[in-house]
Amino acid sequence: RKPFVGLCLYLLLERCSNKRDEIMADQGKAESSMEHGGADNQNIQELVNQLYHFRDHYFENHGVEDAWRKQQDVAQEMEKVIQQLVKHEGCSKNKAQYLLLKGKALNVTVDYSPKAEEALAKAVKLDPTLVEAWNQLGEVYWKKGQVVDAKTCFSGALKHCKNKVSLRNLSMVLRQLRDQGEDYSKNVFESVNQAKQAVQMDIKDGTSWYILGNAYLSLFFVTKQNPKISQQALNAYGQAEKVDKTASSNPDLHLNRATLLKYEEDFQGALEGFSHAAALDPAWEEPPLRERQLLDFLDRLTALVTSKGKVKAKKLQHLQSSLRPADLGPCGDGRYQTPKGEKIPLELQPLSALKPGMNAAVVVLGKVVFSLTTEERVPFTFGLLDSEGSCYAVMVYNMAESWGVLIGDSVAIPEPNMKQHHIQHKGKSFSFSSIRVETPLSLVVNKKVPGPNSQAVAVVAYKPQSE
């Protein structure tokens, strides 16, 4: 499936997962099925349980250096179980339960399996009350890219029995329905609700906590990027690792958390997250790609800040000397309004006087000496040179694709939010200072505030994965 393309794109990955110890939505009903199915189904159930335990706890018995073998090893274990299943095919008294176990075994790998779909579809047709069969079939449709059908399966399972697997998978599906023309904000709020219910059913389930983190991250982008919500996402990711040691082996968790950390300009944490995700799943191209892209961005940015955009000394002097108080525009005449609507005077200060964090009642002024964009187009980054010759990076978020500044433009930034970066990763070091700007509407460019068309809300897109 192609990811949703927005003006400001943050692509996250999610996998639909039914872990071995989470599969019984209704243990009493499952045990009853076993009684009617006899010892054969019970033996098969144990084999399938062992197969999923092998997959979900792989790194408890293997080092990270063996990560490249995981999918191959899981596929081999699956083939062994399928061979045993074939031997019992004519002996099972409960055909629906047998088909469920067969479909589940075939569904253990990352790839869509037509045979799994066939077996599970027959299972729910024979016994529509098999909650686990509905969940497994929903996962199959998820892998196949049929998100609406996946939603039908998870919703149908919940009609028979409330269970954490259906709840959290429905949370994921709801965030995939943007292309179907539904109210996306409404879907995201409902997604958070479903994920919360899944966590409440089992607070020690790391997968449910992880999916709640992803739900909060989507909510962060549809609710004006409230930092409290981004912290809730990070807390949920952290809780997933705390309560469930297998969550630490989930490459998706590390990649998605790293994506959020990158947006929050915690570049050190982002690089470490991308790197760890790559180590856990060497065959997955996305984590090392993002790691390389971020390293390349930091490398180019540091070089441009250090060289002041590689602008020649004579032109630098001209840019510095051409700065005038009039360039402050509405930031220099007492008309500046704080986010609370208060009009306050701003004190012009050099970049070197800024302190880390928000600098209240302060304005900085400079000339643009370079601009830099990323593959995701966010943030729009440029270099700001002030009258003293200091050069800081300025990172602007939530801007329209058509918006930008040109070399030589004057830019005033009221109440700048400054951060000092010191990053070390795989033998590389980066040190620079930056100012974060949440919207171009906060700037004054060439004495004027940019128009409303300069802003576009950032979005987060989800790409379905499977395991």
DSSP code of residue 41 = H
Q: In this predicted structure, what is the pLDDT of residue 385?
A: 98
The Cα 38–Cα 92 span in angstroms is 7
Q: In this predicted structure, what is the pLDDT of residue 13?
A: 63
% pLDDT > 90, the chain = 66
The Cα 384–Cα 387 span in angstroms is 10
Regions in the chain scoring below 70 on pLDDT: 1-41, 90-92, 178-182, 339, 458-467
Q: For 99-156, what is the HEC assignment?
A: HHHHHHHHCCCCCCCHHHHHHHHHHHHHCCCCHHHHHHHHHHHHHHCCHHHHHHHHHH
Give yes or no for a contact between 414 and 442, defined as CB atoms under 8 angstroms apart: yes
The first and second tokens of residue 169, run together, are 């998978």
Burial class (CB in 10 A: 0-12, 13-18, 19+), 354: buried
Give yes or no for a contact between 291 and 279, defined as CB atoms under 8 angstroms apart: no
The first and second tokens of residue 54, run together, are 């092998």
Classify the C-alpha dihedral 12-377-391-339 as positive or negative: negative
Q: For 254-313, what is the HEC assignment?
A: HHHHHHHHHHCCCHHHHHHHHHHHHHHCCCCCHHHHHHHHHHHHHHHHHHHHHHHHHCCH
